[in-house]
Amino acid sequence: MAADTVDKELLKGTIPLMVLSLIDKRDLYGYQIIKYLRVLSGETFVFKEGTLYPILHSLEKRQFIVSYWQESSVGRKRKYYRISEQGLRELTDRLMAWNTFTGAVALVLEGEVPVNEA
């Protein structure tokens, strides 16, 4: 595994977190979110539509985000998403969970393993 590739498994659960975080800053449409994830992550997160769209649909179904169509001067219509009240709460919760999680992993990785038996 090269240093600039991500273990896909590690991603589980973090994509919705990142998506909510981005939409929280500004209303975005799907294709745009894929680009932002790619650019902001320094080309680490390169997702296909097949990965992101179902996640957006799931987030909308659970009412964390709300969609609306909007014309663009170029290309076809875009489906924008904005975050809801529940979405804000979900984002807060997921951020806490993320920090707890990475903190706990760090503790284990840096932790001393006692030499004595239990």
| Residue 104 host element (H or E) | helix 85-110
Binding mask 47-76 for DNA (x = CB under 7 A): xxxxx-xxxxxx-------------x-xxx
Supply the minimum distance, in Å, between the C-beta of residue 62 and a copy of itself. Answer: 13
**88 interacts with a copy of itself by CB under 8 A:** no
**21 interacts with a copy of itself by CB under 8 A:** yes
**100 interacts with a copy of itself by CB under 8 A:** yes
Strand order in the sheet with 28-29: 28-29, 78-83, 65-70
Binding mask 31-60 for a copy of itself (x = CB under 8 A): -x--xxx--xxx-xx---------------
What is the dihedral sign for C-alpha 66, 71, 73, 77?
positive
48 binds, among a copy of itself, DNA, none (CB under 5 to 8 A by kind): DNA
How far apart (Å, rounded) are the C-alpha atoms in residues 107 and 72? 48
How far apart (Å, rounded) are the C-alpha atoms in residues 40 and 105? 24
